Amino acid sequence: MKRMKTTFACFALGVLTVLAFLFSCADQSSMLASPGARLVSGADYAGRETCALCHAEISKEFGQTLHARMHMSDPERQERDLVCEACHGPGSLHVEAGGGRDVSIVDPSDNPLACFQCHSSVQARFMQKFKHPLPQGRVGCMDCHDPHGRNIFSPVDRIMSSRDEVCRQCHQEQSGPYVFEHEALREGCTSCHNPHGSINEKLLVQRDTNLCLRCHAQIASPGSVLIGGFSHTSRVAQGACWSSGCHTAVHGSNINSHLRY
């Protein structure tokens, strides 16, 4: 009985220790109202009104955006007037220096860590084998997203009608128009590609023929696969639809209705 009491006491002490640690971490994280604070050391917060003195146009537009509403809805950030500095870090040193690009301030176009501190799932995507070259510094988050604009999926200083227009900036030859189009393009680029990163080549959301069979499979009977009214039972075993030499023009074709070059 004494041994059981001792074991229980040790267990209870261990639980209390873990809980105390967790609550202490929670208190510390709640004190850190700005992710950017970790990226600009030795600076204090200047407030959004100070930022607006030099960045009036951006400040006016930003107030209508999703990013702004998220920051303003946080009581702690609202109390400390953290909107601009929630992403760019405390700006007192930037103000004292008279401003300037990258002068004692975080620029997300050069430093994706400013974005990753909130978008951790996107950061994980860029750790996949196949991804856009953001880790190498060849592209930046703001090449595809405008964090200050009402449409966050639009590149900076551009008015885009859809997310696909962002992709077409660099991938125009895949966007057509084509004489024989692949209807999947109407669903958008992200129906087949994950723009941030994937374990599959070409940033595909699924590998091999499985990608195509999501839309094209017609099961006639157990063990038989019909696609477009034709039996593909033996063909699907020969490789991916595009790499096996059958449908090489996956985005569209100008010469063949079966999407071939």
Report which listed range, 22-26, 37-41, 170-174, 251-255, is most confident.
251-255
DSSP string, 40-83: STT-----HHHHHTT-HHHHHHHTTSHHHHHHHTSHHHHHTT-S
What residues are paired with 224 via a beta bridge? 221
Nearest alpha carbon to residue 111 among 71, 149, 141: 141
Q: pLDDT grade, residue 224 (50/70/90)?
A: confident
pLDDT of residue 204: 94
H or E, element range at 197: strand 197-198
Residue 30, classified by CB atoms within 10 Å of its CB into exposed (0-12), middle (13-18) or buried (19+), is: exposed
pLDDT of 160 over the 50 cut: no
pLDDT of 126 over the 90 cut: yes
pLDDT of 137 over the 80 cut: yes
* Arithmetic mean of pLDDT over the chain: 78
pLDDT of 163 over the 80 cut: no
Q: Can you tell me whether residue 131 is helix, strand or coil?
A: strand
Q: How many residues does the chain have?
A: 261
pLDDT of residue 41: 81
Q: pLDDT grade, residue 169 (50/70/90)?
A: confident
pLDDT of residue 186: 86
pLDDT, mean of residues 68-95: 74
Distance from the first to the final alpha carbon of the chain: 81
Apex 196 CA angle, 60 and 159, nearest 5: 35
Q: 81-85, 89-93, 210-214 — which is least confidently predicted?
A: 81-85
pLDDT of residue 156: 52
Question: 47 or 151: which carries more pLDDT confidence?
Answer: 47
pLDDT of residue 84: 85
Structure tokens, 224: 């038989």
pTM > 0.85? no
pLDDT of residue 16: 43
